[in-house]
Amino acid sequence: MIYLDHGATSFPKPPAVVRAVRAYLEESAANPGRSGHRLSAAAARVIYDARAALARLLGAPDPRQIVFTGNATGALNLALHGVLRPGDHVVTTSMEHNSVMRPLQHLRQTRGIRVRCAPADVAGRIDAGAIADALETDTRLVVVNHASNVVGTIAPLAEIRRAIGDRLLLVDAAQTAGATPIDVTAPQIDLLAFTGHKSLLGPQGTGGLYIRPGVALEPLMPGGTGSRSESDSQPDFLPDRYEGGTPNGPGIAGLGAGVSELLERGMDAVREHEARLLERLLARLQEIAGVTLWGPHDAAQRIPAVSLRLDGMAPSELAHALDRRYGVLARAGLHCAPQAHRTLGTFPEGSLRLSCGWTNTPQEIDGAAGAIAELAREAMR
């Protein structure tokens, strides 16, 4: 089997992640910090260590500024619902995932927010100038996909920060956290949403939001925190303000182990490994007659997600044939990003996406490209 669907979720998880989940369940699965006994303390330490590791990976000076959520969608909703007030103006881009587009549409309908979409080009490149053009004097928030989940194109965050001045910047790092080095202080990022189960190598059901000190959000889900229990009001300090309810302890234990593994390997090495795979994949695919590729040709401008179409075969058929005949696992369709596909010109059929990750080897890349070449020859007969 050749797994090239890391953009959907990384698989397999590192053995250390599996061990951490198991150890949590077997040894410390009490309610973190709530109950006061030794298992409760042990669980709290696991959560603390995961938060501290994430802060180190993302360059966040204080681990408290990392708030756990169930996924990137939860983090994006917390940020969007927490920041936006009735009538606010938001600028986003045409490369966003439904995890941004749908909450914005919901807030348009329920709070009367105004949304302007800065267009990306056909390679998914976001121009900071287009974002600047979309700003209004009262624009409260700019929401940007750090890298497209469809074509992997990386957004120029430093240029975007310069273009938007001191307006709030929310970065959707679902595809980039753990895939490329991130420093939330340079350029300054106010809010950064991440998922735990993709390049951070953790289990599904984990994610979080980095909140820059001084950025005030309304909590999305008030509830019990084990702190200020005498009060009916949600605590005003982080992370408790945004973490009502018992956290996903086993998931966060695994996420912490995944992040620790990335810190040990070093993000530059991780990025280098995946960039080499991407270069190889692009080179192999470009040699195949009948294959059309989307996204920048330069691997440095993208994370390792490639969208393609094959003449004479629908993306869904291609994905199915790759799975059943060659054991190559990839994802076809719109990838929950219809606006991105409209931008690329691949709506409504979508594309086949091959997305590489930490376990992939050059041999696997050649194997997948070989399978596509064979199917291309068949499709042309």
Partner 1 sequence: MTARATDQGGSAAAHCVILFASIHDVTAADRELRDAQIWCDMIPTPRSLSSDCGMSLEFRCRDLSAVRRRLQDARARPRGFFRRAGEQYVPLPAREGEGSRPATEGESGPS
Q: Which residues are catalytic?
A: 336
Q: Strand, coil or helix: what is 308?
A: strand
Interface with partner 1, residue 185, by CB under 8 A: no
3-state secondary structure of 156: coil
Place of tokens 């054991």: 327
Q: How far is the CB of 35 from partner 1 (least distance, A)?
A: 8
Q: How far is the CB of 238 from partner 1 (least distance, A)?
A: 8
37 is a site residue for partner 1 (CB under 8 A): yes
* CB of 64 or CB of 140, closer to partner 1: 64
Q: Which of 225, 260, 307, 351 binds partner 1 (CB under 8 A)?
A: 225
Nearest to 208 by CA among 345, 105, 58, 12: 58
Rounded (to 5) percent helix, strand, coil in the chain: 40, 20, 40
Choose the stretch contacting partner 1; rule: CB under 8 A; options: 20-28, 72-80, 205-213, 220-228. Answer: 220-228
Q: In Å, how far are 96, 149, 198, 278 from 335, measured between CA atoms?
A: 11, 7, 14, 19
Decide if residue 59 touches partner 1 (CB under 8 A). Answer: no
Determine the Cα–Cα distance for residues 366 and 347; give it in Å rounded to an integer: 28
**Under rule CB under 8 A, residue 244 binds partner 1:** no
- Is 227 a binding residue for partner 1 by CB under 8 A? The answer is yes
In this structure, are residues 99 and 80 in contact, taking their beta carbons and an 8 Å threshold? no
In the complex, minimum distance from the CB of residue 213 to partner 1, in angstroms, rounded to a whole number: 11
265 lies in the site for partner 1, by CB under 8 A: no
In angstroms, give the least distance from the CB of 68 to partner 1.
Answer: 11
b (16+ CB within 10 A) / e for 122-155: ebbbbbbebbbebbeeebbbbbbbbbbbbbbbbb
Quote the CA–CA distance of 101 and 242 in Å, as a whole number.
22
Q: How far is the CB of 22 from partner 1 (least distance, A)?
A: 22
Exposed/middle/buried for residue 359 (C-beta within 10 Å: 0-12, 13-18, 19+):
middle
How far CA 232 is from CA of 34, 87, 147, 222, 229, in Å, comes to: 17, 29, 40, 10, 8
Q: Cβ closer to partner 1: 37 or 297? A: 37
Residue whose CB is less far from partner 1, 190 or 243: 243
Distance CA 106, CA 66 (A): 25
- The one segment of 13-21, 42-50, 318-326, 345-353 that binds partner 1 by CB under 8 A: 42-50
Which one among 235, 250, 295, 304 touches partner 1, defined by CB under 8 A?
Answer: 235
- Contact status: 33 vs partner 1 (CB under 8 A): yes
For residue 214, the minimal CB distance to partner 1 (Å) is 16
For position 14 contacting partner 1 by CB under 8 A, the verdict is: no
Q: Which of 156, 187, 226, 244 binds partner 1 (CB under 8 A)?
A: 226
156 binds partner 1 (CB under 8 A): no
Interface with partner 1, residue 53, by CB under 8 A: no
Q: Is 246 in the site for partner 1 (CB under 8 A)?
A: no
Query: Which C-beta is closer to partner 1: that of 109 or that of 229?
Result: 229
User: By CB under 8 A, is residue 40 in contact with partner 1?
Assistant: yes
Tokens 């045409």 belong to residue: 94
222 binds partner 1 (CB under 8 A): no
Dihedral in degrees, nearest 10, Cα atoms 91, 95, 100, 105: 70
Give 102: exposed, middle or buried? Use CB within 10 Å, 0-12, 13-18, 19+: middle
CB of 24 to partner 1, least distance (A): 15
Q: Report the nearest approach of partner 1 to the CB of residue 237 (Å).
A: 5
From 229, 232, 348, 381, residue interacting with partner 1 (rule: CB under 8 A): 229
Q: What is the largest CA-CA distance in the chain?
A: 74
Cβ nearer to partner 1, comparing 48 with 326: 48
Exposed, middle or buried by CB within 10 Å (0-12, 13-18, 19+), for 113? buried
Contact residues: partner 1, CB under 8 A: 32-38, 40-41, 44-45, 47-49, 51-52, 62-64, 225-230, 235, 237, 239-240
